[in-house]
Amino acid sequence: MTRVLIASIYHEVNHFSPGVTTIEDFQRLGWALGADSLVRGKGRDQAAGAASVAREEGVDLVAILFAQAGSGPPVTDSAYAAIREIVLGAIREHRESLDGIYLSLHGAMATESLTDPEGALLAEVREIVGPDLPVAASFDLHCHFTALMARSADILVGFETCPHVDFFTTGQRAMRLLVRSIRGEPAPVVRYRKIRMTASSEHHDTRRGPMHEVMVRRKELERRPGILDISVFATQPWFDAPEVGWSTVVIAAPDALAPDAAANAQQCADELGEMLWARRERFRVRKTPVDQVLAAVREARAAGEERPIVASEGADSTSAGSTGDGVDTLRALVEAGATIDALVPVADPVAAAACFAAGVDATVDMEVGGRLSPGFHRPLRVTGRVATLCDGRYRSKYPPFPTDAGPTAVLAIGAIRLVITSRPAYLLDLELFKRAGLDPVAAELVVVKSAGGYREFYEPIAAQVFDIDTTGPADSDLTRLPFRRLDHPLWPFEADLQQPW
C-alpha cells in the first residue's frame, strides 16, 4: 500500500496588523489532530480533494494536523514551534513507511522571527526524508513564493481562482502529481519567475480583468506537451519581507515533443510573468472618497432606487488581516446628520461590553472604534440606543464555516445601525447582519470591510458598489504603508521601473 502523510496549516500574515496570532487563535478558529484533521474542512478543502484522489489511487493517507488561523498578525514563535514539532515529529515517526508527503499550506504565513516559515518547514521536511521521497505542497493564490520553497518541494501548486473557490480541486491537483511521482514517472522539474511587482487585492479577481486574461493563457499553456501544472501567485500585498513579488510557477516533465522540461517550464513561467508585468497599471486600485459615496446614496434615494448602495472599507478588510475597527465611513455618516439608513460594522470589544452592560433600549454615550489598530484608526464619540444584543455566532458563507464574532450589539444612531462585534469578523457575505436581525437588502447603504471578495455576495443585491478611500492595515495604496523589509526595486514603489525581473 502506498502511504502519504498529509497536514494542513493555514495562516496569512498582515504585517501591519498589531499584536500576534497565538496557538489559542488556531485552536479557536480551526484545529484537529489525526484522522479528524481530514474531515475538519467539511469535505470541501484541499485535504478532502487529496483524499478523493487517494481513494481512486489506492493510497493510504496518514493524516496529522489541520490548523487554521485565518488572516492576521504574525504567528508567535511558540505557536509555530508547536505546529512544526507536530508535523516534523510525525514525519520522523512514520518515515520508514512513507512514500510521499503533502503539506497543504497558505504560503503567506510569517512568525515573530521568520518571514518564510513555510519554506523553512518544507526545507526541514526535505532534510528528514532525503532527496528522493516526493514532497508536494499547495498554496493560496496569495502565497509569498520563495526560492526556499522551490528548492525544498517537488510539486508546488496554487489556487486558480480569486475569490477562492477551488480548495478541493487544488488538493486533487497536488495529490495527482504526487502519486505520479511516487509511481516513478519521469521526475518533474519546477521552474519559476519572480516579477518585481505587487498590488492590492481589489483586481486579483480571476473572473474578469487582467488576472482573468492571464489565467486564460495559463490554461492554454497547461495543454502544451510536457507541462503538468502552472500556478500564478499574486502575493499577499501586506507582507513585509525580502523576496516579495508576484510569481509564476511551472511544473514540467520531459516529453517526446518537448524533451527539455526545464526550458519548456521556464518559457511558460516567463511568458505569464511578462503578461502580468504588461498589465501592472491595471492592477492599480482607484477608490472613491467617502463624501462621493454618500452623495451617490442621496441621488439613489431621490431617484427612488430600492436596492442598497454597498461600499467597502477595503483598507480595514478583516479577511486581509485588518482589525475591523476603522470608523471613517461612520464618522462621515454621523457628521452628515445620521439620516442615511446605513448598516455599518465595527469590531470593538469595549463598546460591545458597554452595550451589554446598559441593556436593550438603553441610551449609551461612548467612543467606538480605533481600539485595535490605534496606529491607523481614531475612535469616534457616538450617542445611540441599544437596539439588539446577540451572541455573534453564525454560519458564514465565505468561508463556509461557523463564525464566532463574540457578543454583538446593534446600536441605533439616528438612522444608522452600527453592528458592534467583540472580535474582528470576516465581512464578505451578508450573514453577520442577518444574525444581528438586520436586512441588508432593505438598507440604503451597507458598509463592509473586504478588499474584493464581498462583490461575489453583494453585487447581486446592490444598485451600485464602491470601494471607499480610507486608511488601515490593508490599505490598497501600498506606498502609504510603512514597509521596512522589501527588496527594491519593486513596482509600484518604484513606479518608473522598466525591468520586470
Report the residue number, 15 or 142, with the smaller CB distance to Zn ion: 142
How do strand 100-105 and strand 135-139 relate by DSSP bridges?
parallel
Q: How far is the CB of 195 from Zn ion (least distance, A)?
A: 18
| Minimal distance, residue 164 CB to Zn ion, in Å | 6
C-alpha distances (whole Å) from 261 to each of 134, 136, 175, 347 are: 18, 19, 21, 51
Identify the CA nearest to 169 among candidates 277, 23, 49. Answer: 49
- The least distance separating Zn ion from the CB of residue 162, rounded to whole angstroms, comes to 7
Residues 311-340 that bind Zn ion (CB under 5 A): none
CB of 160 to Zn ion, least distance (A): 12
Q: Which is nearer to Zn ion, 70 or 326 (CB)?
A: 70
**How many separate helices (H) and strands (E) can be counted in the chain?**
14, 19
Using alpha carbons, list the distances in angstroms from residue 115 to 148, 208, 240, 241, 485.
12, 32, 8, 6, 10
Q: Which is nearer to Zn ion, 205 or 243 (CB)?
A: 205
Q: How many residues bind Zn ion (CB under 5 A)?
A: 2
- 205-233 exposure pattern, b = at least 16 Cβ within 10 A, e = fewer: bbeeebbebbbebbeebeebebbbbbbbb
DSSP conformational letter for 439: -
Q: Which is nearer to Zn ion, 12 or 348 (CB)?
A: 12
Site string for Zn ion, 91-130 (x = CB under 5 A): ----------------------------------------
Minimal distance, residue 364 CB to Zn ion, in Å: 37
User: How many Cβ atoms sit within 10 Å of the Cβ of residue 303?
Assistant: 8
Q: Closer CB to Zn ion, residue 143 or residue 227?
A: 143
The least distance separating Zn ion from the CB of residue 49, rounded to whole angstroms, comes to 17
Minimum distance, C-beta of residue 153 to Zn ion, in the bound complex (Å)? 19
Nearer to Zn ion, 17 or 266 (CB): 17
Closest CA to 102 of 135, 133, 131: 135
Considering the complex, what minimum distance in angstroms separates the CB of residue 271 from Zn ion?
A: 24
Interacting positions 213-242 with Zn ion (CB under 5 A): none
DSSP state for residue 207 in the 8-state scheme: T
| C-alpha torsion 370→376→378→384, nearest 10 | -50
Q: Which is nearer to Zn ion, 142 or 455 (CB)?
A: 142
Q: Quick one: DSSP state of residue 449?
A: B
CB-based closest residue to Zn ion: 142
Closest distance of CB 141 from Zn ion, Å? 5
Task: Tell me whether residue 126 or residue 142 sits nearer to Zn ion (CB atom).
Answer: 142
Is 45 a binding residue for Zn ion by CB under 5 A? The answer is: no
Query: Of 126-185, which residues contact Zn ion (CB under 5 A)?
Result: 140, 142
Of 140 and 316, CB closest to Zn ion = 140
Would you say 167 or 376 has its CB closer to Zn ion?
167
80 touches 39 (CB < 8 A): no
476/473 Cα distance (integer angstroms)? 9
Q: Shortest approach of Zn ion to residue 142 CB, angstroms?
A: 4
Other CB atoms within a 10 A radius of the CB of residue 404 amount to: 16
Residue closer to Zn ion by CB (options 146, 264) is 146
Cis status, amide bond into 379, omega within 30 of 0? no
Beta strand residue intervals within 129-245, DSSP E: 135-139, 155-158, 189-195, 227-233
Residues 6+ away with beta carbon under 8 Å from 70: 10, 11, 12, 25, 29, 319, 426
> Measuring CA to CA, which residue among 163, 160, 117, 157 is closest to residue 139?
157
| 3 state SS for 226-266 | CEEEEEEECCCCCCCCCCCCEEEEEEECCECCECCHHHHHH
What single-letter amino acid sits at 88?
A: L
How near is the Cβ of 210 to Zn ion at its closest, in Å? Answer: 17
Binding region for Zn ion (CB under 5 A): 140, 142
